Chains A and B, each alone.
Chain A
Amino acid sequence: MSHLKQILEKGEFAVTAECGPPKGADSEIVLRKGDLLRDKVDAVNVTDNQTAIVRMSSLAACTLLRGAGLDPVLQMVVRDRNRIALQSDILGASALGIGNLLCLSGDHQSFGNQPQTVGVFDLDSIQLLQTVKAMRDEGTILGGDRLSARPDLFIGAAANPFADPLEFRVTRLAKKIRAGADFIQTQCIYNLDRFKTWISTAVDRGLPEKVYILGGVTPLKSPGMARYMKNRVSGMDIPDEIVKRMEGVPKEKQREEGIRICVETILRLKEMPGVSGVHIMAIEWEEAVGEIVERAGLLPRPGF
């Protein structure tokens, strides 16, 4: 079912991109974003009410993309659903032909536009991974009841090489793999040195033999965005050189510079042992993805 899985298993350097569903019921926006990404990437992640802002459900947007011939990655956060709803949506996703599932904790509700809601957090992301794996591999749900049919899902998880405590980051990656992750998509990489340290520790522990690791990248639009992410987004590591590079070009060249940095990063990642692909998160800038993929020499993508 999962095209992404086939690409990775063939040993191709995989490319995924992120697509944020609209803040409304308009399917055309989803389909338009899908068109921008078609044939440029192998799979498309659809965010799940990212930053705790209400948007069209990831499940619905994934279904639209699937219908349009793309391979969606359903992002699922544990913030909004208890284990009954999570397991039910997992079954539903598979039934609708969605082949990939990314298990996340989710951004805290206090950041979004519903700060008065209650955060569920019945399971955490690692427990969710374990749950999906048991559903797929054992055909059982939590508590042991058997499923009439198993979901067919390629299971993913996130990792942040730049958060603390550093020593524990690889332990946590190993934990996610044990819980059931088939692939990992990382936090945006700007600090390649620190990423290298993390990936080589992972390589030393033999982890990339058990999991496909896709390095995350986000093209910067402006120095303001760089500074914002550096200072305000927890767990984001943007070295001063990057901010300076963005500041050093005139306004009309800033987006070009952002794309250039992104392409350079991908080229470095391609050479790094342990890295199986790249995940491009062009936030509300899906138009940039095609160019980035092309300039990084990753086109054409192998077909379905």
Chain B
Amino acid sequence: MITAEQKPIDEIREMIGPFKRILVLGCASCVAECAAGGEKETAMLGSALRMAAKMEKKEVVIEEKTLDRQCVNEFIVLLDDTIDQYDAVLSLGCGAGVQAVADMFPETPVIPALNTEFLGETKAQGLWMENCLGCGDCMLYYFGGVCPLARCSKQLFNGPCGGSVDGRCEINPEMDCAWQLIIDRLSRFNALDRLEDIYPPKDWSRKQGSGPRKIVREDQQR
């Protein structure tokens, strides 16, 4: 899932300052799971912004809507009929959602209400952890299912570094050392010998080789 957190309200209020009719637009997918931009959070933000405007005696219309997915055109088109009523959209989608909405409605300013953070998992209630960088060439097999790019602070392919102590990372003792996890897991599967080989330098062209990436699947196209 893609994780995000809400921006400070002050920053949001500054960005929406010039607008009079604002659609606060949530997304019921990833950002709902991480309690940043789902229906509930959208209602909260809308309510808070309306109260703030009233206290300042500003005449603004702030309305809310939440799409099932803000990054998929099929859902964004549902705004077609109403978008003209607004002079700006305040999006609680991830960075992809914000841009998808902006692409669909080139005349309408779309303002991000969230800071998009990382690809991660919901570890516990209220705890999300980064575990994938979307490198385009997954190496999890070699590393026993623990990603050294996303979870080792120094992105070591041949770790651990000299700071790994008691399974904790030297950068932040509250974090697990990814390499301790890799070693633990591989030894559980009797596959520690995999680490005798020197893992070669990463082919980063799969991530950023020729600019922004795209996936084309003809079988999925019309």
Contacts and interface: CB of A to CB of B under 8 A. Distances in A.
Q: Do A and B bind each other?
A: yes
Interface of A: 79, 83, 105-106, 108, 110-111, 119, 121-127, 130-131, 142, 158-160, 163-165, 168, 171-172, 174-175, 178-179, 187, 234-235
A125 B167 CA distance: 20
Main secondary structure of the interface of B (DSSP, over half): loop
Given A110-B171, A175-B158, A164 B166 contact: yes
| Chain B, interface residues (CB within 8 Å), range | 20 to 34
B135 interface: no
Nearest to B159: A124
A171 B196 contact: yes
Contacts of B7: none
B170 A124 contact: no
Contacts of B160: 163-165, 168, 172
Given A105-B161, A163-B163, A163-B165, A127 B154 contact: no
Contacts of A121: 154-156
16 contacts: A108-B153, A108-B154, A110-B171, A122-B202, A123-B201, A124-B154, A124-B155, A124-B157, A163-B165, A164-B177, A174-B196, A175-B195, A178-B198, A179-B158, A235-B162, A235-B170
B3 interface: no
Interface in B139-165: 153-165
- The 9 lowest CB-CB distance pairs between A and B, nearest first, are A160-B162, A234-B170, A126-B158, A234-B163, A121-B155, A235-B163, A124-B156, A163-B162, A235-B162
B201 A163 contact: no
Given A108-B170, A160-B162, A163-B163, A127 B198 contact: yes
Given A163-B160, A165-B164, A168-B183, 8 more contacts: A121-B155, A124-B154, A124-B155, A125-B156, A130-B198, A164-B166, A164-B177, A175-B196
A172 B163 CA distance: 13
A125 B161 CA distance: 9
A110 B201 CA distance: 24
Instruction: Please indicate which of the listed interface residues B162, B167, B170, B204 has the most CB atoms of chain A within 10 Å of its own CB.
Output: B162
B162 A187 contact: yes
